[in-house]
Structure 1
Amino acid sequence: MKTPKVHRIALLFNANKMFDHEVTAGIAAYFGSTRAAWDLFLEEDFRLRLSGIEHWQGDGIIANFDDPAVAAALSRTSVPVVAVGGSYADPAKYPAGVPYVATDNFKLVELARQHLIDVGLQRFAMFSVPATGENRWAQERENAFRSLMRGDQLDAGIFRGCGTSVRSWDEAVQGQIEWLRGVPKPVGIIAVSDARARQLLQACIIAGIEVPEQVAIIGIDNDPLVRRLTRIPLSSVIHGAQEVGRAAAHLMEQMLHGVRPPHTPIVVPPAGVDVHASSLYQLIKHPNVMRARHFIRQYACQGIKTEQVAEHVGVSRSTVDADFRHELGCSVHDVILSFKLNAAKAGLESGDCSIADVALGSGLTSIHNMHRVFKRELGCTPRAYRDRVLRERGQVAPA
């Protein structure tokens, strides 16, 4: 039996970035499912380094072309290249003569905006990043937002703010707060990335602006680490980044066997919206209820009680409970429990934590208490809930 030729493929990604990480995971999924005869070359710490790449004597390169430096460096290489990155409204912006697999920037923004419309909002804005060559993907998302707003004959309010560093952090946050205070409310804000969404969410909390009653926020990336760094769970549009990786790997495999690549980019749509509290706008008329819900979103999982909510609002327990029953048809305790239950469900669905850790992290304190709440509210045990969700996804539940 003839041994298949082993091809040497370099992956040029910064896997510390969520999009690059997911694309790389998609390449790995293709590699694992097809048993392609590849030796993969990556930097040991997964960072992107270009020095000397044009002299690399391999068989192919898959790289993120969102960075202009990558495109420039690979223009001098003789090996087959597959590019990935964001989509462009102008076809002339795609690299000439290089097969390209893109995440659909227009659809990402459109899906975020449609979600905000679906929850009942009528005003929209975007929080972007300063325009640089490396941020072309963000500029495309800005253009998509402008186009969508123009279609509805609405103004497209876009705020870029400044880049953040240790020295500029206070200035950046203050600029975000000033912008937020000047935006007509209620408003739905699309952040061009989860990192930007997290910053804006933090600025709202510092400024005492209720999320999502006054400002509903949705990001793009669905980065689980960023979500863990927010007090209020963050909604986000899910890239089809793993599908981008699989498609790029398939293109490379075809090119290695002499198949000519397509002349037009392959554009991959987003996978959906991961909806959490930050964007779940609900029209609330009573200011006590608005302030109380904002407080509960931040601290429900830390074990707060109705008395602490009432103290935060500045009224008695009976008053805040009466306000909740009149506005929402339930008690403060019911709302706190609902947030704890949602946090527990999200923890179980991730499949990363033990049931004991999920119980502690969600504020349900113990496996016994969590078991009791799940049986009463959902009719099943936490373990049965987790196993069912993971089974539906085709994943194996941890022991």
Structure 2
Amino acid sequence: MSNPHGVHRIALLFNANKVYDRQIIAGVGAYLASTRVSWDLFMEEDFRCRLTGLADWCGDGIIADFDDPQVCAALREVNVPVVAVGGSYTDASRYPDGLPYIATDNAALVRLGYDHLIEQGLENFGFYSLPVAPAHRWAEERERLFDGMVARDGLKSFIYHGHATSAAGWSDAIEALIAWLKSLPKPVGILAATDARARQLLQACMMADIPVPDEVAIVGIDNDPLARTLSRIPLTSVQQGTEEMGRTAAHLLHRMLHGADCSDTRVVVPPEGLHVAASSLHQTRRSPYVMRAMHYIRQYGCLGIRTEQVANYVGVSRSLLEEHFRRSLKRSVHQEILRHKLEIAQELLRNGECSLADIAVRCGFTSVQYLYTVFRRELGCTPKAFQESQQAELQE
């Protein structure tokens, strides 16, 4: 389809409140920035606001989230090129007919998270899904894939759909989630359908005083920066190939706008990888005192806690706790607190989103100078040199 003015009016039907959708939108933007394509983009914060009257929309093309059946229904009568984006499915009937479809590889996402939990030496596995609903069929697919993988290994999976997230029902939802967590055999590895659900698991474990990852190891899906910010215990997460999905969808629509027939095209995009953090790094510990102490340190280690506070939380004397730490970890409680602070500081430096002053404050160091002193003493380099070395590795 040609446009006499050279500018095409394109609607992006995505929910900008979801990290998955935002990352796909970012991929569309990356495609536009790397080409000479000239598009006038229309986008509501929530695509559902745009579903009514789409048949009368005077645009040139649409890229839409087809995981929601309402979108499929609303776009049936549209007479402009449409590129569908969503999850991959084992059942081919779940794909839209006659439309190009760009999918995140649900099987690969689940496999990456499940294999990581197996590597931690775990033998009990759970999946925290979403309530059954037509709009959650992608979560249902991930749940089904997870259950199948666990069954093929001769094990039983524990599936929990939970409650829909709402302010009114939040207390009941958390209480029910805690009850499910307490009912599980321990230790257990849990894969959540999204990072938002994984963060709920972390909150429930904190409220119920369940050590993470000693008793419950958690993996999410999305690698959501907001989930990382709101979680005291850093979250392990599978990064979807969402930006590549957005770029691919934009490229296909560009071709369709110029007459190409892409109706039979189906592209399944693999995940970018697994971002490993403390929430899933399960280690078998013989000492329950060390387990409880580590749970406390992961939550409050960057807030200036001291060994006495950790011992008080565990409910034993400082000398007894130190003895258990030396026996199990070959280091003192203070050294473990410092190790935790350094680990968080290294992660923040890798992300490159915070200044050194902010990192010092967030990790519980009294000043930037002290941060430098600790890095030189423990790692043999400055924070700046560490950050530069990490960035150089990523560019290789």
TM-score normalised according to structure 1 size: 0.95
In structure 2, how many angstroms separate the alpha carbons of the residues matched to 1:344 and 1:364? 10
Per the TM alignment, residue 47 of structure 1 is displaced from its structure 2 partner at its CA by 5.3
1:204 corresponds in structure 2 to 205
In structure 2, how many angstroms separate the alpha carbons of the residues matched to 1:370 and 1:343? 12
Q: 1:46 to 1:347 in 2, by over 3 A?
A: farther
* Residue pair 1:126, 1:159 contacting (<8 A) in 2 also: yes
In structure 2, how many angstroms separate the alpha carbons of the residues matched to 1:307 and 1:22? 44
More divergent stretch after superposition (251-260 vs 23-32): 251-260
**1:133-282 counterparts in 2 under 5 A?**
133-261=134-262, 263-282=264-283
Q: Secondary structure at the match of 2:130?
A: coil
In structure 2, how many angstroms separate the alpha carbons of the residues matched to 1:347 and 1:125? 30
* Residue pair 1:108, 1:270 contacting (<8 A) in 2 also: yes
2:92 corresponds in structure 1 to 91
1:57 corresponds in structure 2 to 58
In structure 1, how many angstroms separate the alpha carbons of the residues matched to 2:34 and 2:189? 41
Question: Quick one: which amino acid aligns to residue 18 of structure 1?
Answer: V
Give the number of aligned pairs.
Answer: 392
Q: Secondary structure at the match of 2:122?
A: coil
In structure 1, how many angstroms separate the alpha carbons of the residues matched to 2:5 and 2:385? 45
Question: Quick one: which amino acid aligns to residue 386 of structure 2?
Answer: Y
* Residue pair 1:125, 1:156 contacting (<8 A) in 2 also: yes
2:385 corresponds in structure 1 to 384
- Alignment of 1:17 with 2:18, yes or no, is yes
* Residue pair 1:82, 1:248 contacting (<8 A) in 2 also: yes
In structure 1, how many angstroms separate the alpha carbons of the residues matched to 2:159 and 2:276? 23
Q: Secondary structure at the match of 2:126?
A: strand
In structure 2, how many angstroms separate the alpha carbons of the residues matched to 1:383 and 1:46? 41
* Residue pair 1:16, 1:47 contacting (<8 A) in 2 also: no
In structure 1, how many angstroms separate the alpha carbons of the residues matched to 2:48 and 2:338? 45
Per the TM alignment, residue 214 of structure 1 is displaced from its structure 2 partner at its CA by 0.6
Q: Secondary structure at the match of 1:58?
A: coil
Per the TM alignment, residue 264 of structure 1 is displaced from its structure 2 partner at its CA by 4.5
Per the TM alignment, residue 46 of structure 1 is displaced from its structure 2 partner at its CA by 6.1
1:344 corresponds in structure 2 to 345
1:295 corresponds in structure 2 to 296
* Residue pair 1:4, 1:37 contacting (<8 A) in 2 also: no
1:218-277 deviations in whole A, cap 9, x for unaligned? 111111101211121111111111111111111111111222216252001111111111
1:321-346 deviations in whole A, cap 9, x for unaligned? 11001011111112111111111112
* Residue pair 2:357, 2:367 contacting (<8 A) in 1 also: yes
Unpaired runs of 5+ in structure 2? Answer: none
Per the TM alignment, residue 203 of structure 1 is displaced from its structure 2 partner at its CA by 0.9
Unpaired runs of 5+ in structure 1? Answer: none
* Residue pair 2:124, 2:156 contacting (<8 A) in 1 also: no
* Residue pair 1:65, 1:83 contacting (<8 A) in 2 also: yes
1:340-383 deviations in whole A, cap 9, x for unaligned? 11111121222221110011001123110111111222222112
Per the TM alignment, residue 307 of structure 1 is displaced from its structure 2 partner at its CA by 1.2
In structure 2, how many angstroms separate the alpha carbons of the residues matched to 1:48 and 1:301? 42
Per the TM alignment, residue 134 of structure 1 is displaced from its structure 2 partner at its CA by 1.0
In structure 2, how many angstroms separate the alpha carbons of the residues matched to 1:255 and 1:25? 21
* Residue pair 1:347, 1:353 contacting (<8 A) in 2 also: yes
2:68 corresponds in structure 1 to 67
Per the TM alignment, residue 167 of structure 1 is displaced from its structure 2 partner at its CA by 2.0
- Alignment of 1:81 with 2:78, yes or no, is no
Per the TM alignment, residue 48 of structure 1 is displaced from its structure 2 partner at its CA by 4.5
1:159-209 deviations in whole A, cap 9, x for unaligned? 112113222111111111111111111110011111111111111111111
Per the TM alignment, residue 389 of structure 1 is displaced from its structure 2 partner at its CA by 2.7
Question: Quick one: which amino acid aligns to residue 283 of structure 1?
Answer: T
In structure 2, how many angstroms separate the alpha carbons of the residues matched to 1:379 and 1:56? 62
Per the TM alignment, residue 388 of structure 1 is displaced from its structure 2 partner at its CA by 3.1
Q: Percent identity?
A: 54
Question: Quick one: which amino acid aligns to residue 225 of structure 2?
Answer: P
Q: Secondary structure at the match of 2:268?
A: strand
In structure 2, how many angstroms separate the alpha carbons of the residues matched to 1:384 and 1:256? 48
1:331 corresponds in structure 2 to 332
Question: Quick one: which amino acid aligns to residue 295 of structure 2?
Answer: H
In structure 2, how many angstroms separate the alpha carbons of the residues matched to 1:302 and 1:361? 8
RMSD between aligned residues: 1.6
Question: Quick one: which amino acid aligns to residue 221 of structure 2?
Answer: I
